[in-house]
Structure 1
Amino acid sequence: MVVFRRGRLLLSLYWRVKRAFDILFSALVLLLLSPLLLLVAILVRLDSEGPVIFRQQRIGRDRRNGNSVRFNRPDRRQVNRKGKPFTIYKFRTMRVNSPRYATTPEEESDPRVTRVGRVLRRSCIDEL
């Protein structure tokens, strides 16, 4: 019984140290990347009008897990797979008030994407 309590205490301590490390490391990386983020924000603002950052709702983990329901079933989209929605904040790479599905998203010469947006998408900086 004493061993169990001591192991539980060590496990609790491990998670607290891990959480502290995660927060400190994230703060350090954010501090180091802040000049780059500021530069990207200025470039997006100069390239087009509208907000620099936009918010998007996404569905999280386990949303499209094929283990629970077979994909060839006709009701595959009606089954609730309990994906947890989350909000992501991204640098805006498209023009404001552009048609929603004017072209396919994979098209290289999409007129909705700004010049800075093309560079951000290729380098994946838009999701930093």
Structure 2
Amino acid sequence: MKKVFDLISSLIGFIFFLPLFLIISLIIKLSSPGPIFFKQRRIGKDNEEFYILKFRTMRIDTPNVATHLLENPDKYITKIGKVLRKTSLDELPQLINIIRGEMSVVGPRPALYNQLDLKEMRTKKGIHKLVPGLTGWAQINGRDEIPLKEKVELDKYYLDNKTFLFDIKIIFKTIISVVKSDGVQEGKNDVKLDKTKVRQ
């Protein structure tokens, strides 16, 4: 049921948002030099890597570190990028990842390829067996504001309690969180991050 729901909902979502998809792509292309999409290596099901897709929200000369580590991220985020990040529309291309079967609508957010600490913690708890999601239980319970250990515990809770109705609940709460922009942070904070990570 989950696979069928993922495929049908992502196809419907892609068709529904196609006009917006094209408008955003055009604005990105005309407003700043560089590609429309930002591809990033992530860890998927069974720890196999794939490339996640996002709309590019930063200039091409941005230092190759996590956004959290930038002294002044506003300096590098494009004008359209600020809007896309605030509304989470930069995640829209991940519908393509879901159609490909690399992601699910609901699941643990895919770790960066070199986020080895998170990879190890998830593997020990069996979370790596889940298909990563566009949104997840941890996403609606803190997002950028909570440390990795707590995120893993929330992912484990999802693993132990996942049902179709639970997924619907998470999707509904995600919509509310996006509207309120809950848990979104830019720039440095007190979350410790590996300085070798590429920007998110």
TM-score, normalised to structure 2, is: 0.39
Residue 32 (structure 1) aligned to one of 16, 23, 48: 16
Give percent identity, aligned residues only: 40
CA distance in 1 between partners of 2:12 and 2:66 (Å): 41
How many correspondences in the alignment? 92
C-alpha RMSD of matched pairs (Å): 2.8
Runs of 4+ in structure 1 over 6 Å off: none
CA distance in 2 between partners of 1:41 and 1:25 (Å): 22
CA contact (8 A) 1:54 1:90 kept: yes
- Please list every run of 5 or more consecutive structure 1 residues that lacks an aligned counterpart in the other structure: 1-14, 62-81
- Please list every run of 5 or more consecutive structure 2 residues that lacks an aligned counterpart in the other structure: 93-200
Residue 110 (structure 1) aligned to one of 71, 74, 78: 74
> Which amino acid in the other structure matches residue 88 of structure 2?
C
CA distance in 2 between partners of 1:58 and 1:52 (Å): 19
- Structure that is richer in helix per residue: 2
Residue correspondence of structure 1 range 1-128 to structure 2 within 5 A? 19-60=3-44, 83-101=47-65, 104-105=68-69, 110-128=74-92
Which structure has the larger Rg?
1
- Determine helix, strand or coil for the equivalent of 1:99: coil
- Determine helix, strand or coil for the equivalent of 1:49: coil
TM-score, normalised to structure 1, is: 0.58
